[in-house]
Amino acid sequence: MNEKVTSIPELFGSMVFTQEQMRQRLPAHIYDAWQQCLVQGTSLDRSIADEIAAAMKEWAIEKGATHYTHWFQPMTGFTAEKHDSFIAPQGPTGVLMELSGKELSRGEADASSFPSGGLRATFEARGYTAWDPTSYAFVKDKTLYIPTIFCSYGGETLDKKTPLLRSMKLLDTQSIRILRLGQVQRDMVLREQLHVLQHELGEDGDDELYEYEEKINRCRAGDEVWEKLMKELHRLSKQPFGSAEGAVIRNYLDVCLDVPWGVETHDRADVEQARKILDKDHYGLDKVKERILEFIAVRQLNPQAKGKILCLVGPPGVGKTSIALSVAKAMHRKLSRLSLGGVRDEADIRGHRKTYIGAMPGRIIDAVIRSGSMNPLLVLDEIDKLASDMRGDPASALLEVLDSEQNHAFRDHFLEVPVDLSRVMFITTANTLDTIPRPLLDRMEVIELTSYTDEEKLQIAKRHLLPKQLKEHGLKKTQLRITDDAIRRVIAAYTKESGVRVLERQLGKLCRKAAMQLVEGDVKRVDITENNLKELLGTQQYSESIHSDRDQVGVVNGLAWTQVGGEILEVEAQALDGSGKLELTGNLGSVMQESAKAALTCLRSRWEELGLPRDFYKTKDVHVHFPEGAVPKDGPSAGIAITTAMLSALTGRPVRGSVAMTGEVTLRGRVLPIGGLKEKTMAALRNGVHTVLIPRENVKDLDEIDQTVRAGLHFIPVDTVDQVFAAALVLSRGEHAAPRGRVSAESPAALSV
């Protein structure tokens, strides 16, 4: 020591790497892991050992140490030491001071480690040293002494401390068992003693009970679980061999012991690494990636944070499930996936009582068992497809599972013991939020995935889909070349979707055609361009625009949102001489039928302003039809489209073919906001529409729309049906831009955004 210490209390323990030193120098979660190793006797993870070794090395160097030694006690009666320097060569002229967790937790014992009175060959050491975390390291003579035990390769006892530690562990285990034992457990102890006596006498005993007990004692579950399992084991011991009750208990014990109690994977909370993985696996989806990276950043700062519940909502094929798979890979978590589509029985979530024939735990516990970890990433696909019947409501059963404040003690009906799900990260997927119960939706953080633009589909095809299909079909990049124009043509003429699943199938078809040409012909490379695309895929399936560009009477381009994305919804209206009947066709739901009735009443209340006969509702029959009659349609957002089609049919004024619209209409002619604007506007752009009428209250939603879509469309916000008529109807010669009377003459151009 350089300083002179006169105080004995200051001198005592000053060169010992005590528990207090470890608490000061180690991160909280590393110190807790060491404590857990100390108390529960678990193994020390390599990453934890690295952190402890670094802190121990820094402390030793501060105390003047230049070397370290594994210090142990062979059966010779003398202590043994194996010295190594902290200094390691670094380049031609530099050195590096290092001590890793590998050297801390395990070291090879050489000949000098055995003070036997003479030298011994290294191979005679027959083992290695391992750090004893129950003993503190200390500095002596500028050397860090690491207390270790000597572990032999052949199983021989070569270290005095080894049998001591073994006996202490055995006594500790048995003492804890005795302290926790009740009447049932004392019976088990007596039965174990009886088994030993039977074994000594050469009598046959039933080893099954003792195997179960050994597994129960090894499992790292809580006291409540341990007591429950021991109670069931006691019941099993009283059952005759081959009884039905015994089979039920055995099945219960097997399932419970399959649960990975206390087993968790270490999260890889590295934002940059996660960003690289997400960018590699997915193109675009910037907002989704940013939210996931934020979650990982929080985990990096707070490893003990509870698992989050994310809900990815979007049309099919946009990458909801694949995003979840990438998150699991980025965070280095085990992954389990379960589909909830068509689940009607509450027992599918909570499990059946074990007394039922063929009873098994619910899907949640089964997924945890399959993952082999208590902190996996569980993907709940198609949560919007849950149903309910007389067997219960599965959505209600999920309320506890997806509530981070309750799921720390989730009880499956089969297990009957609490299971901690708070460390599980849940990611759910859905096509729509409309069918998800509000209490369940309130427990999830919704992240929307919108439809891809044509340019995004092109990039996804080039970066992900085409390389995947080439690999699946055994093709090399040099054997098949598809031009960008050809891919764009495939997107426009052979697919009609929000995602890229159909696009991938079409690319797979091109790969198969190319494989045939390479095998049958003499060509070494197949070039696919826009010119020869028709020969390979046949006649195009979709036109670039499904609506008519012509101005037509009684025909309006509405915009609809479906579970597969946005679509153009054509509305047809025809006015005929009659007695005032309203006919609605096209497989309409109740809400859309009510919208049509509200539209007719709106026109009747404004007959004078709109230039309609006063008694038109008595002399004219109005027939409103929605093409594709086999497809169910419902929702209020077609209100202004129906109103405009009716007015056009009654007045004979054409509707502009380049205009599409969406919005709910009231009896007084107000235009109310709607949902799904992202998908609807993308459908308009995809179908060649140039102008879109939207409710003024939806203007704020334009910020969420893709820039490509915003640049390709002309948006006109409207407050009333009068503004809709002024923008959508073709004016006759000599007619003013707005209807007569009280209507504002504000032009559509002035309303554009």
HSE-CB for 667 with a 13 A CA cutoff: 4
Residue 379 has pLDDT above 80, yes or no: yes
Among 45-59, 99-113, 440-454, the minimum mean pLDDT is found in: 99-113
HSE-CB for 297 with a 13 A CA cutoff: 8
The span from the CA of 70 to the CA of 148, in Å, is 6
- 423 by DSSP, 3-state: which? coil
Contact predicate 718/729, CB 8 Å = no
HSE-CB for 98 with a 13 A CA cutoff: 11
DSSP string computed for 338-376: EE-TT---THHHH---TTSTT----HHHHHHHHHTSSS-
For residue 136, give the nearest of 125, 123, 147, 128 by alpha carbon. Answer: 147
pLDDT value for 724: 93
Backbone CA torsion sign across 114, 120, 121, 125? negative
The span from the CA of 494 to the CA of 539, in Å, is 9
pLDDT value for 752: 28
Q: Which two tokens stand for residue 113?
A: 């480690």
Among 170-174, 539-543, 652-656, the minimum mean pLDDT is found in: 170-174
**Which position among 161, 334, 354, 680 bears the catalytic label?**
680
In the block, tokens 């010779």 appear at: 76
pLDDT value for 631: 77
The DSSP 8-state label assigned to residue 41 in this structure reads -
pLDDT value for 547: 55
Residue 742 has pLDDT above 60, yes or no: no
Q: How far is CA 61 from each of CA 4, 72, 83, rounded to the nearest angstrom?
A: 19, 22, 15
Residue 391 has pLDDT above 50, yes or no: yes
Q: Which two tokens stand for residue 374?
A: 């208590």
Q: Looking at residues 707-721, what average pLDDT do you find?
A: 88
pLDDT value for 685: 82
For residue 330, give the nearest of 370, 288, 381 by alpha carbon. Answer: 288
Backbone angles phi, psi at 130, to 5 degrees: -135, 135
Question: Long-range contacts of range 63-69, CB-CB < 8 Å, 24 or more positions apart?
Answer: 63/15, 63/139, 64/2, 64/139, 64/142, 65/139, 65/142, 65/143, 65/144, 66/142, 66/143, 67/142, 67/143, 67/144, 68/99, 68/103, 68/143, 68/144, 68/145, 68/146, 69/143, 69/144, 69/145, 69/146
For residue 308, give the nearest of 215, 392, 419, 421 by alpha carbon. Answer: 421
pLDDT value for 323: 86
Q: Which amino acid makes up residue 627?
A: P
pLDDT value for 168: 62
| pLDDT tier for residue 715 given thresholds of 50, 70 and 90 | very high
Residue 281 has pLDDT above 60, yes or no: yes
| pLDDT tier for residue 602 given thresholds of 50, 70 and 90 | very high
Q: Looking at residues 57-70, what average pLDDT do you find?
A: 83
pLDDT value for 164: 62
Question: What pTM was estimated for this model as a whole?
Answer: 0.61
Q: Which amino acid makes up residue 48?
A: I
Q: How far is CA 716 from each of CA 39, 548, 711, 726, 753, rounded to the nearest angstrom?
A: 69, 20, 14, 11, 6
pLDDT value for 573: 93
* pLDDT, mean over the chain: 79
The span from the CA of 161 to the CA of 79, in Å, is 11
Contact predicate 442/403, CB 8 Å = no
Q: Looking at residues 513-530, what average pLDDT do you find?
A: 86
| pLDDT tier for residue 239 given thresholds of 50, 70 and 90 | confident
First to last CA, the chain: 79
| pLDDT tier for residue 658 given thresholds of 50, 70 and 90 | confident
Residue 204 has pLDDT above 60, yes or no: no
In the block, tokens 């798979």 appear at: 325
pLDDT: which is higher, 724 or 159: 724
In the block, tokens 């469309």 appear at: 713
pLDDT value for 671: 93
Respond yes or no: is residue 680 known to be catalytic: yes
Q: Which residues have C-beta within 8 Å of that of residue 73, sequence separation ≥ 6?
A: 79, 80, 150, 159, 160, 161
For residue 22, give the nearest of 100, 106, 137 by alpha carbon. Answer: 137
Q: Looking at residues 586-611, what average pLDDT do you find?
A: 89
Burial pattern 21-34, b for ≥16 Cβ within 10 A else e, equals bbeebbeeebbebb
pLDDT value for 409: 84
**Which position among 336, 595, 637, 648 bears the catalytic label?**
637
pLDDT digits (tens, 9 = 90+) for 327-370: 888 888 888 888 888 788 888 888 888 888 778 888 899 999 99
Please state, as a whole number, how many other Cβ atoms lie within 10 Å of the Cβ of residue 627: 13
For residue 67, give the nearest of 77, 57, 79 by alpha carbon. Answer: 57
Among 249-253, 307-311, 387-391, 526-530, the minimum mean pLDDT is found in: 387-391
pLDDT value for 120: 33
pLDDT: which is higher, 151 or 218: 218
- 269 by DSSP, 3-state: which? coil
Q: Looking at residues 162-171, what average pLDDT do you find?
A: 63
Q: Which amino acid makes up residue 692?
A: V
Q: Which residues have C-beta within 8 Å of that of residue 269, sequence separation ≥ 6?
A: 296, 297, 299, 300, 303, 331
Q: Which two tokens stand for residue 110?
A: 């050489």
The span from the CA of 418 to the CA of 226, in Å, is 11
Contact predicate 362/349, CB 8 Å = yes
pLDDT value for 386: 85
Backbone angles phi, psi at 342, to 5 degrees: 80, 5
| pLDDT tier for residue 158 given thresholds of 50, 70 and 90 | low
- 140 by DSSP, 3-state: which? strand
The span from the CA of 602 to the CA of 650, in Å, is 14
| pLDDT tier for residue 622 given thresholds of 50, 70 and 90 | very high
The DSSP 8-state label assigned to residue 408 in this structure reads G
Residue 174 has pLDDT above 80, yes or no: no
